Structure 1
Amino acid sequence: MQQRALLLSALVAVAQAQQAGTQKSETKPSLTWQKCTASGCTDQSGSVGIDANWRWVHSTSGSTNCYTGNTWDATLCPDDETCATNCALDGADYSSTYGVEASGESLSLTFKTGSNVGSRLFLMEDDSTYQIFKLLNQEFTFDVDVSALPAYENNKAGAKYGTGYCDAQCPRDLKFINGQGNVDGWEPSSNDANAGVGGHGSCCAEMDIWEANSISTAVTAHPCKEAGQTMCEGDNCGGTYSSTRYAGTCDPDGCDINPYRMGNESFYGPGKTVDTSSKMTVVTQFITSDGTATGTLSEIKRIYVQNGKVIANSASDITGVTGNSINSDFCTAQKEAFGDQDVFAQYNGMSGMGEGLEQGMVLVMSLWDDHYANMLWLDSNYPTDATATDPGVARGTCGTDSGKPSDVESASADAKVVFSNIKVGPIGSTYSS
């Protein structure tokens, strides 16, 4: 059992010079979300748009592929700038190509549809603008059904065509960054027929509200030196895609709460306190020191609601680490107990994360597999060469030989996740206690 659903907030940059194609029309699926106050919640009309990395990229003069499999066309894309001039991102067939279905307030993502694997979608304010959330002194709530997830300035494309993704791993697998092709230094992946790694990465603060499958879950804050999007160079990006993990200007590890990793093996999963065999409501609160939207982020709190019952997040069972929410004391103690490098504190920890939340973030909803670490960091023993009984190593019940994308894609192609009832509002306004 290996598929993973991911729901996170990330600041998305504005690209600079990307071309838009006209071969396919772009009709985004509508998705309703709610804005809440102490008096109640009101519907907001939105839509979802698929990330540029999943889109057809072809010549501006016709339909010749600029990118096939995991390789760029050398004639159309001899370098980054020429590629951005010669190539266009086009519209998407959301349902038939990507397995994306939206109805009212509900969004369903299917893992594998034809030859396509996974998807990454942004919540849109309108057809060409990302919906920005400023979450200080707010809470973000959604329903999720993971029961069908096994566990094994010249910008012509822009938000409309899903450009501008960034996160704290400073991903280098993006085809376009800051309006340029990521062609220079591109190396096709050895184990992913559709991906590769280029000479540039795209960094920004990242709030992982929901990384989960049906047996493990984590909520993780990743601050950066610069909260907003920046482009990095090669291995100096750090993160997952570089040879030196901590070489960059973001915290690739973050400060996380995974109930299993924090010592509670009976909290999350089928038939457990939070029962993943049925739908649940997930509430994440971003509490400030003075209770205002301009205060300093002091705590990130998780609450679940299921079958009419409000469930507090499980408390840490690790010696020396107390509490059930992300705050400065918890994060410092966790890093010490687990023997992890405290890059979280290096990038100003909670206040650094708060800078990203204050600036504004875009909601990203995705379903994916992991060609770098088989997602063992979520639900297995990780690092795999560590002793499983050491604090922080055990993160779930999956074996260290599990999670290979080839296995996942063949055995669980029909896996899916359903996100619904997205709500944003002041603390205590989005759910019934």
Structure 2
Amino acid sequence: MRLTVLLIILDLAFAQLAGNIIREIHPPLTWKRCKSAGVCETIQGGVVLDENWRWLRDVGGFSDCFRGNDWTYENCTTTESCTSRCVLEGEDYENTRGIGTTGDAISLRYLNNQSLPTANSRVFLMASETRYQTFTLLGNEIAFDVDLSNVGCGLNAALYFVAMSPDGGSNKFPTNRAGAKYGTGYCDASCLQSQRYVGGKANINGWEPSPYDSETGIGNQGACCSEFDVFNSNAHSYSLSSKLCHRNGYSICEWDECNQGRLPDCDRWGCDYNPYRLGAIDFFGKGKTVDTTRQFTVVTQFHEDAVTQFFVQGGQKIETPAPTFNGISNTGGISSEYCANSAVEFETRDLFNQLGGFHRHNDVLRQPMVLTMAISDDYWYWNTWLDSIFPVEAEGMPGVARGDCPWKMNEPHLVKTEQPDAIAHWANIRFGPIDSTTDL
């Protein structure tokens, strides 16, 4: 009994804390839960900003614990001291981050050029003040309207699901006392080492500030979990992808395990469907079949044997095209056949099947997952994997062209200069059984 009490006391003393200087008010966002076509219930939800974008300050004052892309070592120097001495503050969403909501619509601005300029953001849909909204995807579909007309080359406006804990990890990691209310507990299949907190503790050990990105770096640990990317996108290209991890839910990787070993914890690239990569270069983009100069609707259906998509624009249903490469698949979307054959055709490592393939994919879709929306540049790969040539050194090989963007134009500093007004708009999110979210 004494040992238990001592451990609780130690956890309280060595805890990831929430601040009290800026009140945390989640922007409201409604969405619809559907039963059948035209029969939907409006849900009162909200969004919360990921902890990684928040002001992290000393618990006893106003000085920063993290400034720019590095920890401020005058306030803390170890995992223990940073976890216990630093607090996550509330956020002024509109003025500081350029995040705005109205009814069922949300906008994420890429740059917010206020007195303290900021770039990029990531938010999670909330079920309550202290819990994320979760969705079980298998046998269901999600639909949403999107406007990408001001999201250009080198940017990714993403709507996706991750297998993070609904409470932000506060139950699994008692040192995390801030919880979902402050956007804690993010993980994905990239096993991000750039998260300032991993497992409820400061990720300061081995921290290396990025030589290119003035706002981030990487630590010794990464936060891993399976991920399903419904729509990675900009006005030039998009992709749909399933990204598996070999563990269920949130897990922590150490430096050499984070996507660098012979069998990584997760498949950061996944089994992906990108029409441009598959030869349908006139399907998606400005003035193309799906015209990204105008708003359109994306509908994604999660079947046992496949994940399929279609679009709606101008009242017309638009089916996704089958690959033009022989022997991959006769239909659009991803399936067991498609994932195996595309890896062979494009001569890429088939980590998707090494980590369990479509059977594992369906297991992930049976788990509750958290809806995430983000807009971001990319200092690691310049988002060329989405809309340009990737990898650049393999230009001309099958499957390397992902979009029509010149890869040199994707460099983040150039993107910031050329696209100061970039903004992504999502609206009218609907979720329910297959064929319930649209009436076509």
Equivalent residue for 1:302?
309
Residues 148-157 or 18-27, more deviating:
148-157
Match of 2:410 among 391, 403, 407: 403
Report if the CA contact (8 A) 2:153-2:409 is conserved.
no
Equivalent residue for 1:333?
341
Match of 2:265 among 249, 263, 271: 249
How far 1:197 sits from its partner (Å)?
A: 0.4
Match of 1:285 among 287, 296, 301: 301
Cα distance, 1:428–1:246 mapped onto 2, change above 3 Å: farther
How far 1:351 sits from its partner (Å)?
A: 2.0
Report if the CA contact (8 A) 1:49-1:123 is conserved.
yes
Match of 1:193 among 214, 236, 242: 214
How far 1:78 sits from its partner (Å)?
A: 1.5
Equivalent residue for 1:132?
134
Report if the CA contact (8 A) 1:235-1:247 is conserved.
no
Structure 2 counterparts to residues 25-424 of structure 1, below 5 A? 25-38=23-36, 40-114=39-113, 115-152=117-154, 153=171, 154=174, 155-238=176-259, 244=260, 247-288=263-304, 298-322=305-329, 323-388=331-396, 390-424=397-431
How far 1:401 sits from its partner (Å)?
A: 1.5
Aligned partner letter, 2:189 = A
**Which consecutive residues of structure 1, in runs of 5 or more, have no partner in the other structure?**
1-15, 239-243, 289-297
- Tell me, in whole angstroms, the C-alpha distance in 1 between the residues paired with 2:209 and 2:387: 28
Question: Once superposed, what is the RMSD of the aligned Cα atoms?
Answer: 1.3
- Tell me, in whole angstroms, the C-alpha distance in 2 between the residues paired with 1:224 and 1:111: 29
Deviations 1:171-194 (CA, angstroms, capped at 9, x unpaired): 000000111000000000000111
Report if the CA contact (8 A) 2:145-2:297 is conserved.
yes
- Tell me, in whole angstroms, the C-alpha distance in 1 between the residues paired with 2:388 and 2:67: 34
Report if the CA contact (8 A) 2:140-2:432 is conserved.
yes
- Tell me, in whole angstroms, the C-alpha distance in 1 between the residues paired with 2:420 and 2:256: 33
Aligned partner letter, 1:305 = V
* DSSP-derived class of the 1:48 partner: strand
- Tell me, in whole angstroms, the C-alpha distance in 1 between the residues paired with 2:306 and 2:252: 29
- Tell me, in whole angstroms, the C-alpha distance in 1 between the residues paired with 2:70 and 2:265: 28
Equivalent residue for 1:9?
none
Equivalent residue for 2:167?
none
Report if the CA contact (8 A) 2:382-2:410 is conserved.
yes
How far 1:247 sits from its partner (Å)?
A: 4.7
How far 1:353 sits from its partner (Å)?
A: 2.0
Cα distance, 1:250–1:273 mapped onto 2, change above 3 Å: same
Equivalent residue for 1:431?
438
- Tell me, in whole angstroms, the C-alpha distance in 1 between the residues paired with 2:211 and 2:261: 20
Aligned partner letter, 1:131 = Q
Match of 1:18 among 16, 19, 27: 16
Aligned partner letter, 1:312 = E
How far 1:32 sits from its partner (Å)?
A: 0.2
Aligned partner letter, 2:393 = D
Identical amino acids, percent of aligned pairs: 39
How far 1:148 sits from its partner (Å)?
A: 1.3
**Which consecutive residues of structure 2, in runs of 5 or more, have no partner in the other structure?**
1-13, 155-170
How far 1:196 sits from its partner (Å)?
A: 0.3
- Tell me, in whole angstroms, the C-alpha distance in 2 between the residues paired with 1:273 and 1:168: 31
Aligned partner letter, 1:315 = A
How far 1:17 sits from its partner (Å)?
A: 3.8
Deviations 1:24-80 (CA, angstroms, capped at 9, x unpaired): 000111000000002611100000000000000011111111001111122433122
Residues 76-85 or 374-383, more deviating:
76-85
Deviations 1:118-150 (CA, angstroms, capped at 9, x unpaired): 110000001111001111100011110001112
* DSSP-derived class of the 2:414 partner: helix
* DSSP-derived class of the 2:212 partner: coil
Equivalent residue for 1:295?
none
- Tell me, in whole angstroms, the C-alpha distance in 1 between the residues paired with 2:291 and 2:439: 19
Equivalent residue for 1:13?
none
Report if the CA contact (8 A) 1:169-1:252 is conserved.
yes
How far 1:380 sits from its partner (Å)?
A: 1.1
* DSSP-derived class of the 1:277 partner: coil
How far 1:227 sits from its partner (Å)?
A: 2.8
Residues 67-76 or 48-57, more deviating:
67-76
- Tell me, in whole angstroms, the C-alpha distance in 1 between the residues paired with 2:152 and 2:367: 36
Aligned partner letter, 2:78 = D
TM-score normalised to structure 1 length: 0.91
- Tell me, in whole angstroms, the C-alpha distance in 2 between the residues paired with 1:67 and 1:185: 15
How far 1:246 sits from its partner (Å)?
A: 5.5
